[in-house]
């Protein structure tokens, strides 16, 4: 699946089932379902992909302190670009 194909699924009623769970979480996030996305991030805490997702979600929530914790857990620095750019980067990394 390409980035464009993934973004085309955002109009569907449910996320695609044949993609990585992090992509499903990003689908939920893009569709205003933060809690569903967060549940996926929490489900596999301690795994870098999920911790990185967790960081993004808390940054989007406006909780910079908690986001910084999750960025550290994921082994990456705080993302200082726009939320849209971070979402796009995460999608691309998890395709």
Give me the residue spans of the domains in the chain.
Answer: 20-94
What is the pLDDT at residue 14? Answer: 97
The mean pLDDT of 75-90, rounded to a whole number, is 97
How high does pLDDT run on average in the chain? 97
The tokens of 14 are what?
């449910």
Q: What is the pLDDT of residue 60?
A: 97
Q: What are phi and psi of 35, to 5 degrees?
A: -60, -40
| Each residue's pLDDT tens digit, 42-77 | 999 999 999 999 999 999 999 999 999 999 999 999
pLDDT for residue 32: 98
pLDDT band at 15 (very low <50, low <70, confident <90, very high): very high
């Amino acid at each position: 699946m390409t980035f464009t194909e993934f973004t085309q699924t955002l109009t569907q009623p449910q996320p695609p089932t044949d993609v990585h769970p992090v992509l499903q979480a990003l689908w939920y996030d893009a569709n205003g379902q933060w809690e569903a996305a967060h549940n996926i991030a929490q489900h596999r805490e301690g795994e870098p992909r999920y911790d990185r997702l967790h960081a993004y979600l808390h940054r989007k929530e406006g909780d910079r302190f908690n986001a910084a914790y999750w960025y550290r857990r994921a082994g990456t620095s705080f993302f200082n670009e726009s939320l849209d750019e971070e979402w796009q980067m995460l999608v691309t990394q998890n395709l």
